[in-house]
Amino acid sequence: MSRLPAKKSKQKPKVAGLLGLGLDGRDGHKRITQGEKFAIVGGSSETHERMTEGVVKTLEKLSRKGKALEDAEPEEVADLLRKNMPDKK
């Protein structure tokens, strides 16, 4: 008697939250910024600020579209993050 593997769920992946990790902090400061659906940890002052601004703008744009983070497609979230990340100075 052969056993077939259980069918995998066809459920689409969802974004439950965002985590930003900055690796360029060398000044000894421990930077942590948390929001309802995100956390930004580490990085230099400039990097931490850029990541925080990009994530906040992304969440605001989703909200204006009437979507929560978990309702948006992962590709849409990634695209918005790229577009909303401020340029380096």
What does the alpha-carbon distance between residue 2 and residue 59 come to, in Å, rounded to a whole number? 49
In a domain, 2, yes or no: no
**The pTM is what?**
0.82
Quote the domain boundaries for residue 38.
Answer: 18-84
In a domain, 71, yes or no: yes
In a domain, 4, yes or no: no
In a domain, 6, yes or no: no
In a domain, 41, yes or no: yes
In a domain, 13, yes or no: no
- Report the domain count for the chain: 1
Burial of 51 (C-beta count, 10 Å sphere; 0-12/13-18/19+): buried
pLDDT of 9-60, one tens digit each?
677 788 999 999 999 999 999 999 999 999 999 999 999 999 999 999 999 9
In a domain, 63, yes or no: yes
In a domain, 75, yes or no: yes
